[in-house]
Amino acid sequence: MIQNNQNLIWHNHPITQKEREQLHGHRSIVLWFTGFSGSGKSTIAGSLEKHLYQMGINSYLLDGDNLRHGLCHDLNFSVHDRKENIRRIGEVAKLMIDAGLIVLTALISPYYEERKMVRNLIGSESFLEIFIDTPLSMCEKRDPKGLYKKARSGALTNFTGIDSEYQAPLKPDIHLDGEKSITVLTNEVLHFLKIRNIIQY
């Protein structure tokens, strides 16, 4: 952490976020997918990104696991490090918003305060919290990475939903029923983006 930043001065770009949005032909925004492991976050976000691409919309998907291979490889899953993980991703998403992109994130992001921190960092007008509401029992049955099995056996600790808390959003911007099909859920998000005048199709 930088202790003395008096010599750091923010550099304003000659091209604004609004000008980049006009170039791309759509607003820039963060679509923050949250839910249990196995809830369908990455699958739905990936499906949505594919549709946006086919529509000529500039977007990028920030996947939690991918980011832990690089940007956040030095962090573990303690409460402190989870908060730092979310902070870093929020800062990256903020830069991408300034670039005029639609940013999709697929992260468990289990705590109210961390999600609120990112909303405040980015601004409510550019942040949509999307809760993939999938029952824990279904997520555990799916167990696409075998993580629930490891957590139940004690081989994996601090696992959300087993021995670490998940604080579900109380008032998400979009509430998706994770038991529905990927096609239905993707279309629900696309419809929401259209009625909010974020995209046109």
Q: Which residues are catalytic?
A: 109
Q: Are 97 and 29 in contact (CB under 8 A)?
A: yes
131 in a labelled binding site: no
18 in a labelled binding site: no
37 in a labelled binding site: yes
Q: Quick one: which of 105, 59, 87 has its CA closest to 198?
A: 59
164 in a labelled binding site: no
145 in a labelled binding site: no
40 in a labelled binding site: yes
137 in a labelled binding site: no
70 in a labelled binding site: no
Binding residues for ATP: 35-42
